[in-house]
Structure 1
Amino acid sequence: MTTEVALVFAAIFWGLNFAATKFATGSIPPLVLVGVRFALGGVLLYCALRFMEPKSRLARGDLLPMAALGCFGVATAQTGFTYGVSLASAASTGLIFATAPVWGLLLGSLLGLERPTAKGVLGVGLSVAGVAVVVSEGLGSGDTNLLGNGLVLMAAVCVGAYAVLSMPLLERYSPLAVATYPVLFGAPFLLLLSSPQLVEMEWGEVGVWPLLAVAYAAVFATAFAFAAWQTGISRIGANRVLVYQYLITLVGVTSGIVFFGETLGWNKIIGGAVILLGVYLARR
């Protein structure tokens, strides 16, 4: 499978994960879902790493950077994402999550990893404005919708930072290793947080379809997608990988419309267009 084909599948799997997560959290507490998802996904990634790269070892000096990526790039980001999608629409959260590359650019500029440009600054401003337009539609829908969008925005910031801070590690480790080790650090933390709810879960009452949604999230939206995305960044660069971010947004918004009957009001259409334009300019 070529890098481009793998990225297309990863983008589709992540886009559909908005709907899968929203569906699963109707029967499973969000914290339990994210804990189980990354525990299973971490096991799959580790097995793949041991099989494909048996000599892969994590240097002592890289323990802290990998653990940090696992803390905010996996645990914090995915907890915010899962709770956010459970509270707000898949369409609005899909649009807001598209800002992740913008926050990566902003952090890269602050750390001196990237030189800020006029287009980049304009892109950041447009993305923030677009998020404000998308969120404004939910201001009259109660606090939960606004909170959900806010949590997904936090997740997007963490994912953007994760992408930027993983770049130096990709110079020393394979894409599969950089996808695996942060998940292995983040998963135990998620399981610890979810343990009170996890031990009380009556899995027999959950139903087959929510369990399949969890399996989908673990296998396709975690193990495969994380490995494919890091491979894409290492082989074709972060800017070219950005093109596939638009596919994630398209699939995520479409899944909300198809599976949950969500509608695209003018706020989402205009705000989404402004966000995507901002992301495009920011990464030019």
Structure 2
Amino acid sequence: MGNALNLSAKHLFLALFTVLIWGLNFIAIYYGLKGFPPLLLCAIRFGLAAFPWVFLLPCPKAPLKYIIGYGIFTFVMQFGLLFSGIQMGLSTGLASLVLQVQVFFSMGLAAFFFADRPGMWKIGGSLISFVGIGIVAFHMGDSSSFVGLMLTILAALSWSAGNMFSKKVDAESPLSLVVWGNLVAFPFMMLLSFFIEGPERMVGALQNISLPTVLAILYIVYLSTHVGYGLWGFLLNSYATAAVVPFTLLIPVIGFLSAAVVLNEPLPFWKILASVFVMVGLVFNLLEKYILATFKRLRLKIR
């Protein structure tokens, strides 16, 4: 395992490709929620991500409790909370930014469970990025949006917990873990949708499904879930958590820009300022080795 600067060119491309998929995923979520209530949308996502692939991919060789934990935290909790947060009024652009607090949670959990301790520069970078999240919280104008913000922060915590289970499983095929994790998530989310959203609302959404909703579901399932989480699991198993998770801080930049272009979401100065803090934190995380080497050279020159 190494830090982010030790990624090969191929793996760097895979990391950037993954965050591009996830950044554009918020547009797909927006259109998906236009046609389906959030928990039903999650359930359909999980069902299509699991079937028929569970019959083609073997179950990861790991204790069942880790696979169940991965499915519940990475899928049931993360996406149930995220979709509900957007439904409550948090814009897709802001949701893409707020979800990145998972970087801090992931580093903290990795340090606690795996002794995968980040350096001071990574910690400093995380704190700088957190200022950007604070700016977002300060500008939440109404109670429903603030609830959406809190739900999205909890979704980020769930994602980071799922990352820990992913490292515990250490599956030979990251895609098989994704598929079996979705199999775990599917019945949980169907039951939640049935009891919370109700059968009438579920049937009504299915009867009135539109082409944009279908396309959104296809993107969410096959690109965001299969491709995105398959590549992400591979990278997490190949490098230290602190080396991989900072790449997700690029997601809000893609999320903001795509939401502004496709959905005509406003892009006021405070959103740009929040993004700058997040991006500066990313630079500190990714360039830790370079920054330390530069300071070392400067000290030697001064001497």
Give the TM-score category using the shorter length. Answer: 0.7 to 0.9
Shift in alpha-carbon separation, 1:45–1:143, aligned structure 2, 3 A: farther
* Distance of 2:173 and 2:237 partners within structure 1: 8
Which of 230, 233, 258 lines up with 1:230 in the alignment? Answer: 233
TM (norm. structure 1) is 0.85
Question: Displacement, 1:282?
Answer: 5.0
- How many angstroms apart in 1 are the aligned matches of 2:39 and 2:29? 11
- Structure 1 pair 243/123, CA: closer, same or farther in 2 (3 Å)? closer
| The one of 19, 26, 37 aligned to 1:11 | 19
Shift of 1:40: 0.7
- What is the match of residue 72 of structure 2? 71
Give structure 2 stretches of 5+ with no counterpart.
1-9, 289-303
Cα deviation, residue 63, structure 1? 0.5
Question: Is 1:28 matched with 2:36?
Answer: yes
AA at the equivalent of 2:76: A
Q: Aligned pair in 2 of structure 1 residues 210, 84: CA closer, same or farther (>3 Å)?
A: same
Q: 1:125 to 1:98 in 2, by over 3 A?
A: same
Identity of aligned residues (%): 22
In structure 2, what is the Cα distance between the partners aligned to 1:120 and 1:7?
Answer: 18
RMSD over equivalenced CA pairs, Å: 2.5
The range that moved more, 219-228 or 37-46, is 37-46
Match runs of 1:178-217 below 5 Å: 178-196=177-195, 197=197, 199-200=199-200, 201-202=203-204, 203-217=206-220
Q: Is the 8 A contact 2:249 2:278 kept in 1?
A: no
8 A contact 2:71–2:180 mirrored in 1: yes
Q: Whose Rg is larger? A: 2
The 5 A counterparts of 1:1-284 are: 3-43=11-51, 45-47=53-55, 50=57, 56-59=58-61, 62-86=63-87, 87-111=89-113, 113-138=115-140, 140=141, 142-170=142-170, 173-196=172-195, 197=197, 199-200=199-200, 201-202=203-204, 203-235=206-238, 237-242=240-245, 244-282=247-285, 284=288
What is the alpha-carbon distance in structure 2 between the residues aligned to residue 167 and residue 129 of structure 1?
A: 29
- 1:240: how far off? 4.8
Structure 2 Cα separation of the partners of residues 235 and 44 of structure 1: 28
From the superposition, tell whether residues 112 and 169 of structure 1 become closer, same or farther in structure 2 (CA, over 3 Å): closer
> Deviations 1:110-152 (Å, cap 9, x if unpaired)?
33522253324323433332211112122x2x11211112211
Query: 2-side partners of 1:228 and 1:103: how far apart?
Result: 20
Gaps of 5+ in 1: 51-55
Q: CA 1:217–1:106 in structure 2 vs 1: closer, same or farther (change >3 Å)? A: same
Q: 1:198 to 1:155 in 2, by over 3 A?
A: same
The code of the aligned residue for 1:150 comes to M
In the TM superposition, what is the alpha-carbon distance from 1:262 to its structure 2 partner? 1.1
Please give the alpha-carbon distance, in whole angstroms, between the structure 1 residues aligned to 2:149 and 2:235: 28
CA distance in 1, matches of 2:60, 2:77: 22
Distance 1:236 1:116, change over 3 A: closer
